[in-house]
Chains A and B, each alone.
Chain A
Amino acid sequence: MSAVIKESAAADQRPLVSLRNLNKHYGDFAAVDNISLDIKEGEFLTFLGSSGSGKSTTLSMLAGFETPSSGEIQVEGKSLIKVPSHKRGIGMVFQRYSLFPHLSVRDNIAFPLSIRKIPAAERERQVDAMLKLVQLEQFAHRRPAQLSGGQQQRVAIARALVYEPRILLMDEPLGALDKKLREELQDELRHLHRRLGITIVYVTHDQEEAMRLSQRIAIFSHGKIVGLGSGYDLYQNPPNAFVASFLGNSNFLKAQVTGNASVQFEQQPLAIRPTSALQNGQQVLLMVRPEKALVLVQEQAAQTPLPAGWNEIPAQVSEVVFLGESLTCSVVTPGGCSLTLKALSNDLQPLQAGTRVRVRWAAADACVYIEWNESDLTKGAGSH
């Protein structure tokens, strides 16, 4: 939650980095398609997308390893396009650690300082501080090959931070680590960011990681940014059906407009959020998160009156999967629309496949989309 609260503090700061109409073409293929984005000073921004969505290419252009086909990259209003990588003063952490294999941990971290011809005494002091920061003091004299994956990545982070860059780029830095270690390092990274106040641009395909770390997330698909905002906003109010389906789980219902706040779904009237520019008879897409809907057996539904502003539809249970703290329940409506609902284990009575149930949700909790592509509704649509 802290990421959500900090968002408002970062919001009134001027942009540190501006991407303007950035393009990268390989022949006919647009790897990055006209991206514009402001990165605020001190924020933790994550590029989230599947492989080939353009997130890594955008990061590479920020680092200067790729030259944009067109467009502008500015840091504090000054163009970076003609500045070579080694003069950009940006820090970067790579997926495969990319430590210098022939140098000790200490010399790896000292490398950026020795390139900058920092005097030896000052260099030692800064390297010591970094070793302390990433808690690797006792490994200072080891070679990278003698460290575990997590330790190697901490060395890489120290090496990227030692020259105090204002921007730190991280290209799937935890991708090669196992889940437990990854979560540990995610916590460390979040604390590091809070302590140093550095601007971090992070690339990942792991949405949980993006949620855990970032103040803002930019969702990439086919070379474009299709969603930008805090993890909370993107999850609760996805700007489009693609983001809704990409981030978390979602149920989609196709309905016919009957008014500016009402639709018809399988011959039943449903309430929706008041939405402007709707035309009667038009098809719209409703999106309900699995945990926002309730499943009630017939008797329960008869005893509990429907609260105002809620919808109810009949359905039949097709499968119940117990997941420990929660369980998911798949149901099918009479019209053949499949929904997946999620509840805490305690809240839901044991259900059998075939049981007739009523599904309820608050109209305000369902997002309404006027335009969508069929391919957006299946998960992982961005991967091709």
Chain B
Amino acid sequence: MLLTPNAMGPRLRIGLYLTTAVIALFLLLPIVFIVLLSFGSSQWLVFPPPGWTLKWYEQFFSNPEWMASVLTSLKVAVITTLCAVALGLPTAFALVRGRFPGREMLYALFTLPMIVPLVIIAVAVYALFLKLGYTGTLFSFVVSHVIVALPFTIISIINSLKLFDQSIEDAAVICGASRLQAVYRVTFPAIRPGMVAGALFAFLVSWDEVVLSVMMASPTLQTLPVKMWTTLRQDLTPVIAVASTLLIGLSVLIMVIAATLRRRNEASA
């Protein structure tokens, strides 16, 4: 018998609802707090806020350092996304369609950055870039972010490519399209949801990334999370709450886009 809410009786059901609510609160409260604090008038992040104000937002948007970090974050995230899709697409094709020895091992290798502690990757990349003199450049941010974003992109594209019936591509070929034309005109549109999801994941990974970025950053080139981190160590100003709110806001927006796309895709399939 399935333990559905109807079958479990009122007592158990209320218990289940309560537990769910507590877990949801536990996950959501820090986010709610930080958003509320960004509008609070107290300079010391007091909760509940004694009054409401937008002055921290004014400070944030009028500070060129914060603005520069937002711009850097966006730049890095967009370039990382493009690179992750450009690299992930052929990799996913090779891993799904390829018939070569060591394919499974290669797949494991590509997904390794999801398992290896971030700090280890960060130290390794930092050591390399320090030697090459690349730290503190946009390039170093992008390369290090692509390393951790690529597994998400590859897995997302692989999943949609595995669902795609290759005989559809063969049909395009026998209809007169070259293999490349067929992939471009038939396969890509069919796996687009996977590509878009992979791109959004890559963007999110880069946008939120802090461990690698702290290592790559210089005083003049920082991403938003890095700027928050360094500011936090000097003083606890509510401007940090503003930055957090913006960080969370964009992340939530992207997740909503991803969910909408997925739902639309499921509806049309």
Contact = CB atoms under 8 A, between A and B. Distances in A.
Contacts of B173: 65, 85-86
Given A65-B170, A115-B181, A145-B269, A98 B165 contact: yes
Contact of A100 (B168, B178, B181, B269): B168
Nearest to A90: B174
Contact of A92 (B165, B171, B177, B190): B171
Nearest to A87: B176
A42 B177 CA distance: 26
Contacts of B117: none
Interface string B158-175: 000000010110111111
Contacts of B190: 100-102
B102 interface: no
B215 to A, nearest CB: 43
Interface in A46-92: 63-65, 84-92
A171 to B, nearest CB: 9
Contacts of B167: 94-96, 98
Interface string B44-76: 000000000000000000000000000000000
Contacts of A169: 174
Given A145-B268, A145-B269, A99 B168 contact: yes
A142 B179 CA distance: 26
B175 to A, nearest CB: 4
B9 interface: no
B189 interface: yes
A98 B168 contact: yes
B128 to A, nearest CB: 43
Contacts of B122: none
A159 B175 contact: yes
Contact of A163 (B165, B172, B176): B176
A160 B174 CA distance: 9
A116 B177 CA distance: 8
Given A96-B165, A101-B190, A145-B269, A115 B176 contact: yes
Contacts of A242: none
Nearest to B168: A98
A44 interface: no
B82 interface: no
Interface size on A, as a range, is 20 to 34
B176 A94 contact: no
Nearest to B182: A86
A63 B175 contact: no
Given A96-B165, A98-B168, A85 B174 contact: yes
Nearest to A109: B175
Interface string B167-206: 1101111111111011001100110000000000000000
B53 to A, nearest CB: 50
B186 A100 contact: yes
Scoring B168, B175, B181 by chain A CB atoms within 10 A of each residue's CB, the highest score goes to B175
A231 B150 CA distance: 57
Nearest to A100: B186
A163 B176 CA distance: 9
Contacts of A64: 174
Contacts of B182: 86
A88 B174 CA distance: 8
A191 to B, nearest CB: 24
B77 to A, nearest CB: 28
A101 B168 contact: yes
Scoring A89, A90, A115, A163 by chain B CB atoms within 10 A of each residue's CB, the highest score goes to A115
Contact of B170 (A94, A145, A163): A94
Given A98-B165, A98-B167, A102-B189, A63 B172 contact: no
Contacts of A115: 172, 175-177, 181
Given A86-B177, A102-B189, A115-B176, A94 B171 contact: yes
Contacts of B172: 100, 111, 115
Nearest to A88: B174
Contacts of B171: 92, 94, 98-100, 156, 159
Nearest to B171: A98
Contacts of B165: 96, 98
Interface string A91-134: 11011101111100000000110011000000000000000000
Given A115-B181, A145-B269, A91 B174 contact: yes
Contacts of A159: 171, 175
Contact of B175 (A65, A96, A111): A111
Interface string A149-180: 00000001001100100000100000000000
**What are the nearest 6 A-B pairs in CB distance?**
A112-B175, A98-B171, A102-B189, A92-B174, A115-B176, A98-B167
26 contacts: A63-B170, A63-B174, A65-B173, A86-B173, A86-B174, A86-B177, A88-B174, A89-B176, A92-B174, A95-B167, A96-B167, A98-B165, A98-B167, A98-B170, A98-B171, A100-B171, A100-B189, A101-B269, A111-B172, A111-B175, A111-B177, A112-B175, A115-B176, A160-B175, A163-B176, A169-B174
Interface of A: 63-65, 84-92, 94-96, 98-102, 111-112, 115-116, 143, 145, 156, 159-160, 163, 169
Given A99-B168, A112-B175, A116-B176, 18 more contacts: A64-B174, A65-B170, A85-B173, A85-B174, A86-B173, A86-B175, A89-B176, A91-B174, A96-B167, A99-B171, A100-B172, A100-B186, A100-B189, A101-B190, A102-B189, A111-B177, A115-B175, A160-B175
